[in-house]
Structure 1
């Protein structure tokens, strides 16, 4: 299998290159389970988040370990997870549609009403593992604004493809796309 060598600070990972369509392949980056990279990324991104924010918000599921570690490193004892589906325990959830480069079917992001109440009038930093097409980020921004919060920063471990040229995000390394 063809791989891409990813370097993030002092760490190196071999990522398998996998097709996601007839025209495009990606280097498959999975942060889940990589405690060493999660720890390094959280410490490095903590230096890039705005000094003044109230909550970190991430999307289910790959951003969760990074948000948890970043929450700990920045002394923010709680963070909020935007879910990919409505759960029975949710009270008055807020929802927005989302499309992303790695999902073939339409999805939605869901914010529990209790979390929405917590975020109202707060300053939020969005945390993700990879920013690529920006679909998930756009949906997260819309959901956070729907809750009455303000996005003051957006951070990720990697910026994939054209996302590396964005000026509204902070990231640690670039990840190329692979045309087929």
Structure 2
């Protein structure tokens, strides 16, 4: 097991299940640039037991109860995998927050700053009824820019963000600070 990865709360899974789940998270040094540790949870989805444990733990760690949100929004691209599985399990609809230029219908867009430039995310303009409550999910929060941009998109179309939930949080990058006015959770905390 990778020793620097553990669940943020140890009351969610048994010690054995926690160790198994954390052992599936891959750490790839120097990707996408030298000095960066890339944390990859995709191997969890290739493992049936791991995927079950991930979803079980993720549901238990949600920052709000399922009756407090109407839709789950997943951030491109790994948030799509997690979000659709979670939406199916909880009986919720799913909304994809896409990178700019990927959606053919009318969209609303929000740009945000990255460490190395800017990026833009979009949602379909009339997909979600005004007043809907949205839980935004993704695999990882680092600086929080993408999650913040998604929050702004849903507010622009008249929705309420009920909270944010992430599989992994990179400690020391303060990504959750941008979202401090909302209920948030991260399943795992690990060094950046």
Tell me, yes or no, whether TM beats 0.5.
Answer: yes
**How far 1:21 moved relative to its partner?**
5.0
User: 1:173 — aligned with what?
Assistant: 188
CA contact (8 A) 1:63 1:129 kept: yes
1:110 maps to 122
Unaligned runs of 5+ in 2: 8-17
Structure 2 contact 166–187 (Cα < 8 Å) conserved: yes
Aligned positions, number: 168
Change (3 A) 1:85 1:165: closer
Counterpart of 1:39 (choices 52, 60, 64) is 52
For structure 1, which runs of at least 5 residues remain unmatched after alignment? none
The alignment yields a C-alpha RMSD, in angstroms, of: 2.6
Q: Provide the residue aligned with 1:155 in structure 2.
A: 165
Aligned counterpart, 2:5 = 6
TM-score, normalization: structure 1?
0.80
Is residue 74 from structure 1 mapped to residue 90 from structure 2 by the alignment? yes
CA deviations on 1:102-123 (whole Å, 9 max, x unpaired) are xx442210111132xx242011
Is the helix fraction higher in 1 or 2? 2
1:134 Cα deviation from its structure 2 partner? 0.6
Q: Which range moved further: 62-71 or 105-114?
A: 105-114
CA deviations over 1:59-116 (Å, ceiling 9, x no partner) = 111111100111122121x2000110223621x2100003345xx442210111132x
1:84–1:151 distance in 2 versus 1, CA, 3 Å: same
CA distance in structure 2 between the partners assigned to 1:138 and 1:39 by the alignment: 28
Q: Report which structure shows greater RCO (CA 8 Å, sep ≥6).
A: 1
Residues 1:60 and 2:70 aligned together: no
Which of 79, 97, 100 is matched with 1:85 structurally?
Answer: 100
